[in-house]
Structure 1
């Protein structure tokens, strides 16, 4: 637990909330003059026993439950980045999931311009793998430039995906299915992901593979075979990242290498000197 950072974050955000906005009256005459909600008022609003919030803000609550942190974050109006900070300060780990179910479904509009500036194939998906932004080189990868609306569904279930992702069963499926499973752990109520999972379980080629173990949850740095609609058979090196304001969203950059032979020499890991 980082007590100093935790205390600073919670005090600052608590001070921004007017007690009157929650039905409390501000004391007059002698008494408390500090801005914002009192610690006891926070306990009342969260239906916690007296002193619970004080223990959290003072750093004297080792391993507080995630449910308490989530309730505090929502009461204080934290955004997703602040929610991550709160969990790291209080628990020394990332949060178990997004703060709000709607998080990860939208990104700042400037991402479209950013993606268009990339010379390699590039696209951004939301937390449900719905396509949010892409560039012209990515569009050119598909026959008749028919870009899929959901890349997870396209990779696993659509016939065009199975044809373009060469060596689909051995090179792609074992890498993609664990990502679906991991996404559902973080977002168990996501209707789009649940619908994809239902189709996967009903698919005779995928159902038994989905039940098998698989630990990979991101493709960053991997190289996989692909049939490009314009350039033919080749390989793509995959770079993956996440927009900071949308947990679960993803930026993918696909670097295409033509030819049947897989590259054997990968670029070395980058480290600060």
Structure 2
């Protein structure tokens, strides 16, 4: 019986390695920020080293996962792998099942962000500008097509703050990440926590960010407060723009029916 259990586990880990290699090799490097697209590639997709870099781990640590070696892989690391490899929800569940022996915890989006059909229509009227609606804990609860074209991670990581602080690729896409993005984001988070001290999703968001990002811990010790980013001009470097910098003005609004929702439109200022 023990031998059968070990054999089944070996089969599970071997299947994990095969799937990871397949998922990695089907990616288009030109759609992934932070990847050198100028060099000659002998195989399609990303290399193991590139996936390791994008998920914030050593090559040996990622290689162990792809080789099907048993290790103490954290759910946070596996979630970064799922985003980097652009896995569908079914593929993400399978990744966790094969790597950890169980499915991931439910995403658990906060229930304070219902968006009706008319709000979605309004988002779609913002073309060609990217636009999205986020709730009090920065879950993106609705967005238009340009938003997903500019930020293809949206279907895989619905929380804007988690992506900005916990995924290495964000530092490639958010120009002057520490000062122009991380610092204002944390200042907004501090205000939101002050307004909603009993909001479990916000408290968990803060804990995840400070635990997972040392720069965030450093900045959190310098208390700053910002209510909203309306009118701020910031820069992006995205695969959708061939990694050329673009400048955007953030237009931040809120529907009167739910002032905790943020209706954000990104207006390019360099065209």
Which TM-score band (shorter chain)?
0.5 to 0.7
Matched ranges for 1:70-109 at <5 A: 104-109=112-117
Q: Which segments of 5 or more consecutive residues in structure 2 lack a partner in the other structure?
A: 1-109
Taking a change above 3 Å as real, the CA distance of residues 228 and 258 of structure 1, as seen in their structure-2 partners, is farther
Provide the residue aligned with 1:151 in structure 2: 160
Matched ranges for 1:112-127 at <5 A: 112-119=120-127, 120-127=129-136
The match for 2:210 among 194, 201, 204 is: 201
Distance, in Å, in 2 between the alignment partners of 1:195 and 1:181 is: 13
- Runs of 4+ aligned structure 1 residues displaced above 3 Å come to 143-148
State the Cα deviation string for residues 73-128 of structure 1 (Å, max 9, x = none). Answer: xxxxxxxxxxxxxxxxxxxxxxxxxxxxx884323331111101111110001112
The match for 2:232 among 222, 235, 248 is: 222
Larger Rg: 1
The match for 2:250 among 216, 238, 245 is: 238
Q: Which segments of 5 or more consecutive residues in structure 1 lack a partner in the other structure?
A: 1-101, 260-273
Distance, in Å, in 2 between the alignment partners of 1:253 and 1:152 is: 17
- Are 1:138 and 2:150 matched, yes or no? no
| Corresponding pairs, count | 158
The offset of 1:245, in angstroms, is 1.4
Distance, in Å, in 1 between the alignment partners of 2:184 and 2:237 is: 18
Provide the residue aligned with 2:262 in structure 1: 250
Taking a change above 3 Å as real, the CA distance of residues 132 and 145 of structure 1, as seen in their structure-2 partners, is closer
Distance, in Å, in 2 between the alignment partners of 1:218 and 1:199 is: 22
More deviation in 215-224 or 227-236?
227-236
The match for 1:186 among 153, 171, 195 is: 195
Distance, in Å, in 2 between the alignment partners of 1:133 and 1:144 is: 14
The offset of 1:165, in angstroms, is 0.6
Matched-pair contact (CA < 8 Å) for 2:190–2:225: no
Matched-pair contact (CA < 8 Å) for 1:201–1:207: yes
State the Cα deviation string for residues 234-257 of structure 1 (Å, max 9, x = none). Answer: 111100001111131100000124
Matched-pair contact (CA < 8 Å) for 2:133–2:143: yes
Distance, in Å, in 1 between the alignment partners of 2:262 and 2:161 is: 12
